Structure 1
Amino acid sequence: MKELAIYSAFCVFLVCITSCIELPQKDPVLPIPAYGNNPPDSSLEQIIFKYVKHFPNETEIAIGLISGDSTSYYGIKRRNDSLISVDNRNSAFEIGSVTKTFTATLLAKLAYEGKVLLDDPVKKFLPVKMRQSSLGGKEITLKHLANHTSGIPKEPENISFDWSIEGSPYKVYDKTRLYYYISQQLVLRSVPGEKREYSNLGGGLLGHILTLITNTSYESLLLESICEPLGMIRTFVSIDSARLQYLVPGRTPSGDKTANWDLNVLTGGGGIKSTAEDLSKYLSAQINDTTFYYLTQKPTFQYTENNVAGLGWAWYADRVKNRRYVDATGGTGGYSCIVIFERTTKKAIILLTNVSAFLASKGDYISKMGIEIHNTLYKDDFKQN
């Protein structure tokens, strides 16, 4: 009976806000089908309900669907075991490891401008001597950090995963600890460029190296190189009183509020906060740009028969027959997300939540929901291509 009540409320209140990028900031939020010329079909409602019913109260979802030049936004919040509509396209969520795609894009921009080479060795830019910068005669390069083939472990050994630290265990992991690790403890797990193993440390180290190259902070580099040119006015790293007003509180798996993550020196691996509307601009650039954004998607390493790594992104061909798409997922203590796009059809999905990544122990709901929405709504595109 509870699920029936939730679904009934969901069908009444789910909102579709259909827009182009120029959409006014304060459009009315009205029930379907009173507003918008692209209301969601029942399949989208059913998919969302299928997963949201597992989330705790006070969790929130912001969805953006891009189709060519049009973007539709959907906002849902679970409260008192009911689903209500919210206009949260301009509300910020932590995006976790999707940050790595921004870091790779920053690298691609520097490479496109001729300021670095993707094959530059990492040791060239560090102020300390690496304990191990090569293996099997192959040096770790900037490209290896961006496509997860560096051989660097997923996490540094000298970090204590004490979850009682407010702001995440990474908060106390500063430059001094990073330099100690790479100069005294680092042991490569594989020959650089020969095996893809996901590395949060690698993404964070790349972000730090970019700050050394440009002599600026990661956030300043992000804002100047990506956010300001694209008009992404609510994408940021550091939290101040103004940003706190539109930052959706993170939630634990049980639904309690939790502190926002501070990744300190490893910010480039997962420290960005953003909105559905801002990410729609970012993905539109990834879809349409032919310069440094496109450079991030060029294949750099094939790690399975159907899967290819770019810089920060990964191409997948095994989830949808005869078609490849690009995706990235992210998760922190209080948030989870997935973004998916396909250049050929100019379609994309943004799914942001304040559902803890640790809820994944009960099922990887966010990734599964995003992929199911993608495969269901865009199935006709796959048939035609």
Structure 2
Amino acid sequence: MAQNSKPENTTIKIVIDSAANRMIKKPLIHSTSIVLVYQGKEFIGHYGELEKGKNNCPDNETIYEIGSLSKTFAGTLAAKAVCEKKLNIEDEVQKYLPQNYPNLKYGKQPLLVKHLLSHTSGIPNMLPFEANTILQNFTNHDTPAKINQLFKNYGQKDFLRDLHKVKIDTVPGYKYSYSSAGTQLLAFILEKVYKTKYEELLTNFIAKDIAMQNTKISLSNQEAKRLAVGYHSDNNVITSPMPQLPWGASGNMKSTIPDMAKYIKFQLKNNKIAAESHKTIVKFDDEFSIGYLWNIATDDKKLGTFYIHHGGVPRSQCYIYIIPKYDLGAFIITNQSGTNTAKVMEDTLNEIFEKITQTGNNG
């Protein structure tokens, strides 16, 4: 029987091209960008057209909205604060708040920072509360406009006001309940810890530690011209960008494919900060745990333990995978956001991983 050998670079590119070209033939999907980092080498591909019939393929200059992948950056910043002994995840959230929030506890159990990092706080997904009702009908064509209108004048003071109305209905630390609002609150805490605005804190960290120069929350007018257009659900009219949320930590980051390659390499190198961010905070079952806002798939038969996050806004969806067993990482994005988009991307990446790991090895 032939011994396993590492796949050749040309083979990897063919595998990616083949899977991506199949993906853009799926209903509603007409473009994708993919970066794969495998054993230190990066493979970048752009496919299709951002606007059907315009022949405008995305490229390395294209800026994408990466949605909730923003949360992994917030988690990494929290890990940095822990490594620098500026933050203890066992701290009570109340310690950092400007007013008293007696509602942020269940019985005698107060909310702790680790509950925000692990989506076990019991804080609802979104503040204001109305956003949760709107998002229940995500595929409705008027949903993006409703969300934009809701957040048009909704700032940090409004968030902190609405936080008083939150009711914690279960013991924190056990039940997984996804909370973008919890990540926004984490950003507020990081501002207090570092005495620096979150956006500045984030931009400085990723520029200095990861050399990501094209990743940010707010774009200049020139940068905004490079922002990918996108489509929501089965609507063939271009959708407006994601509205600015308070702090922007839960879903407002934008990035390019070369910058996401740098982020993957940073996570795979697993230095002190990355390693801290990958630590398990809560284990929910034998297959699923959570770290510093990283979803952790544990002991997968093929890929081992790996770190994953999905990002979605009304006009794009993406995935990031960090797979230490094979020194492998991937980021995929498409400028379409509907009910089947995530599944299409998962299938595409699984096809790529299957073929690479069949011929590859893990050292």
Give, as a single letter, the amino acid of the residue that structure 2 aligns with 1:152: I
State the SS of the aligned residue for 2:70. Answer: helix
Match runs of 1:56-205 below 5 Å: 56=28, 59-78=30-49, 86=57, 88-156=59-127, 158-160=129-131, 161=134, 163-165=144-146, 167=148, 169-183=150-164, 185-205=165-185
CA shift, 1:154, in A, is 1.6
Distance between the aligned counterparts of 2:204 and 2:51, measured in 1?
Answer: 42
CA shift, 1:153, in A, is 1.6
Q: Which moved more, 1:42-51 or 1:224-233?
A: 42-51
Q: Is the 8 A contact 1:276 1:352 kept in 2?
A: no
Unpaired stretches in structure 2, ≥5 consecutive residues: 1-7, 135-142
Match of 1:52 in 2: 24
Match of 2:267 in 1: 286
TM-score by length of 2: 0.85
Distance between the aligned counterparts of 1:324 and 1:336, measured in 2?
Answer: 23
Asked if 1:249 is matched to 2:229, the reply is: yes
1:311-351: CA deviation from partner (whole Å, max 9, x where unpaired): 11121147644722111110001110001011232111110
CA shift, 1:220, in A, is 0.7
Equivalenced residues, count? 345
CA shift, 1:111, in A, is 1.1
State the SS of the aligned residue for 1:163. Answer: helix
Q: Which moved more, 1:137-146 or 1:206-215?
A: 206-215
1:104-123: CA deviation from partner (whole Å, max 9, x where unpaired): 11111111101111111111
CA shift, 1:191, in A, is 1.0
Match runs of 1:324-343 below 5 Å: 324-343=305-324
Distance between the aligned counterparts of 1:169 and 1:365, measured in 2?
Answer: 30
Match of 2:140 in 1: none
Q: Which moved more, 1:39-48 or 1:132-141?
A: 39-48
CA shift, 1:129, in A, is 1.9
TM-score by length of 1: 0.81
Unpaired stretches in structure 1, ≥5 consecutive residues: 1-35
Distance between the aligned counterparts of 2:341 and 2:327, measured in 1?
Answer: 33
CA shift, 1:211, in A, is 2.1
Give, as a single letter, the amino acid of the residue that structure 1 aligns with 2:225: Q
Distance between the aligned counterparts of 1:189 and 1:375, measured in 2?
Answer: 42
Match of 2:347 in 1: 368
Residues 1:110 and 1:80: Cα distance change in structure 2 (over 3 Å): closer
Q: Is the 8 A contact 1:55 1:355 kept in 2?
A: no
1:174-211: CA deviation from partner (whole Å, max 9, x where unpaired): 2222122211x111132111222111111122122222
Share of identical aligned residues, percent?
A: 23
Asked if 1:260 is matched to 2:241, the reply is: yes
Give, as a single letter, the amino acid of the residue that structure 2 aligns with 1:222: L
Q: Which moved more, 1:344-353 or 1:134-143?
A: 134-143
Give, as a single letter, the amino acid of the residue that structure 2 aligns with 1:314: N
1:286-327: CA deviation from partner (whole Å, max 9, x where unpaired): 111321111010111111221111111121147644722111
Of 338, 347, 357, 1:378 maps to 357
Give, as a single letter, the amino acid of the residue that structure 2 aligns with 1:278: D
Q: Is the 8 A contact 1:92 1:246 kept in 2?
A: yes
Q: Is the 8 A contact 2:92 2:112 kept in 1?
A: yes
Q: Is the 8 A contact 2:34 2:257 kept in 1?
A: yes
Residues 1:107 and 1:363: Cα distance change in structure 2 (over 3 Å): closer
Give, as a single letter, the amino acid of the residue that structure 2 aligns with 1:217: K
